[in-house]
Structure 1
Amino acid sequence: MGKTLKIGIIGSGGIARAHVSAYRKLSFVEIVAVADVIPGKAAQFVEAEQLVGAAAYDGHEKLLAQELDGVSICTPNVSHHVTTVDALRAGKQVLLEKPMSVTFQEALEMTQTARETGNMLTLGFQPRYDPNMKLLQDIVQSGRLGKVYYAETGGGRRRGMPGGTFISKKLAGAGAMADIGCYSLDMALNAMGYPRPITVSAFTSNHFGRNPLYHREADKFEVEDFGSAMVRFENDLVLQFKISWAMHMDTLGATMFLGTDAGLKVTPAGSGPWSGVWDGAVGSMTLFHDEYGGHTQTAIPLVEHKLNLFDEKVRDFAEAVRDGRPAPIPGEQILIQQAIIDGVLRSAEARREVSIELP
Structure 2
Amino acid sequence: MSKQLKIGIIGGGGIAGAHVRAYRELNDVEIVAVADAVPGKAAQFINHWELSGARAFDDYRQLLELELDGVSICTPNVAHYQVTIDALRAGKNVMLEKPMSVTLEEAVEMAQTAEKTGYMLNVGFQPRYDPNMKLIQDLVQSGELGKVYYVETGGGRRRGMPGGTFIRKEIAGAGAIADIGCYSLDMALNALGYPKPLTVSAYSSNHFGTNAKFHPEANRFDVEDFGVAMVRFEGDLVLNFKISWAMHMDTLGPTLFLGTDAGLKVTPAGTGPWSGVFDGKVGSITMYHDIKGHHTESAIPLIAHNKNLFHEKIRDFVEAVRDGKPAPIPGELIVRNQAVIDGILRSSLLKREVEIHL
Is this contact kept in 2: 1:136–1:191, CA < 8 A? yes
Number of the residue aligned with 2:336: 336
Alignment partners' CA distance in 2, 1:75 and 1:351: 31
What is the TM-score of this pair, normalised by structure 1? 0.99
Percent of aligned positions that are identical: 73
Number of the residue aligned with 1:141: 141
- After superposition, the CA RMSD in angstroms is 0.6
What SS does structure 1 have at the residue aligned with 2:315?
Answer: helix
Number of the residue aligned with 2:278: 278
Number of the residue aligned with 2:264: 264
Number of the residue aligned with 1:79: 79
Alignment partners' CA distance in 2, 1:193 and 1:330: 13
Alignment partners' CA distance in 1, 2:228 and 2:209: 16
C-alpha deviations, 1:194-214, integer Å up to 9, x for none? 000000000101111111111
Number of the residue aligned with 1:117: 117
Number of the residue aligned with 2:319: 319
Alignment partners' CA distance in 1, 2:53 and 2:260: 59
Asked if 1:352 is matched to 2:345, the reply is: no
Shift in Å, 1:172: 0.9
Whichever residue aligns with residue 72 of structure 1, its letter is: S
Alignment partners' CA distance in 1, 2:125 and 2:345: 22
Whichever residue aligns with residue 229 of structure 2, its letter is: A
341-350 or 148-157: bigger deviation: 341-350
Alignment partners' CA distance in 2, 1:231 and 1:61: 38
Alignment partners' CA distance in 1, 2:240 and 2:333: 19
Alignment partners' CA distance in 1, 2:21 and 2:224: 32
Alignment partners' CA distance in 1, 2:210 and 2:27: 47
What SS does structure 2 have at the residue aligned with 1:195?
Answer: coil
Number of the residue aligned with 1:22: 22
What SS does structure 1 have at the residue aligned with 2:188?
Answer: helix
Aligned ranges for residues 45-194 of structure 1 at < 5 Å? 45-194=45-194
Shift in Å, 1:43: 0.9
Alignment partners' CA distance in 2, 1:260 and 1:356: 27
Shift in Å, 1:333: 1.4
What SS does structure 2 have at the residue aligned with 1:32?
Answer: strand
Number of the residue aligned with 1:7: 7
Number of the residue aligned with 2:44: 44
Shift in Å, 1:350: 1.4
Number of the residue aligned with 2:248: 248
Alignment partners' CA distance in 2, 1:30 and 1:173: 32
Shift in Å, 1:102: 1.3
Q: Which runs of 4+ in 1 moved over 4 A?
A: none
What is the TM-score of this pair, normalised by structure 2? 0.99
Alignment partners' CA distance in 2, 1:63 and 1:176: 31
Is this contact kept in 2: 1:198–1:234, CA < 8 A? yes
C-alpha deviations, 1:133-155, integer Å up to 9, x for none? 00000000111101000000000
Alignment partners' CA distance in 2, 1:280 and 1:172: 21
Shift in Å, 1:349: 1.4
Alignment partners' CA distance in 1, 2:216 and 2:184: 27
What SS does structure 2 have at the residue aligned with 1:283?
Answer: strand
Number of the residue aligned with 1:33: 33
